[in-house]
Chains A and B, each alone.
Chain A
Amino acid sequence: MANTRMKIVESDSDRWEAQLRKGALEMAALASLWNGRLYGLEIIRFLETHSRLVLAEGTIYPILNRLKTDGLLTSEWVEAEAGHPRKYYSLTEAGRIRLREMARAWTSFSSGLSRLLEPLFKAEEIAK
């Protein structure tokens, strides 16, 4: 009984974490393009090395597609030596503006939340 409940709690928190990552992914994808154009796989590798946002890699493509529809990104096909063209994405001016807004909001949000959670970590340290 307790075991089942434990499992439910675990799967709930797994789901919560997966959703949190997915929500942050949009901002992360924009941020990865701050220094210049990249293609899909480069964006994924960039996110892998700079953050721990790893999830189903396919997820990034529909997000890039929507960010493009929203006018935050542009894309172009570039012939590569690999023998097939690659789709490169770059930030538009609107994308840069939006990313700055997002970053500002995110920073104030996460520092506020960290303060909120501080007592929790302190309690854990004492328990140890």
Chain B
Amino acid sequence: MAELVQENWVVLVLALLVGLFVAWWVFVASRRTRVEIQRGDEGPAKRNQALIDAAPVARAVDIPPPTPMGLAGVGEAVQAAAEPVHAAAPSGDDLTRIKGLGPKLADQLRGLGVTSFAQIAAWDDAEIDRIDAQLGRFQGRIRRDDWPAQANLLAAGDTEGYEAKFGKL
């Protein structure tokens, strides 16, 4: 046995290396999902006050308690459940319809109090400068994509005019 090992140690070392490589592949290289733990320098996550303040989407339905009459009251319960629930209408317009304005920018604008096309359409140069300065890496987008003109057409519901000037919605 010892002789065999001595004579073939190169092969055995190769086998060992192959095993090592397979283990490395299994445990390191093929592990595509990585979990990154962010050591928070930013403090705890902020609560979403808008979500807390929003009216509940669904409202409780009063279901009459069962009565000795058997199924009496079921009709009312079904009727109550079938009534459309009036969810709180989202305030403002979908700003992401403006070309060059994505969800992140829409969030930023919402944070700045801009929620409707009419507001954007009414911006003058000074206002554009003021908002633009707060858009971080998106600075310059307002004029580049002419948000006020887009918003003006969108606020007026002039889809044809919009598509003629800015392309398909």
| Bound together | no
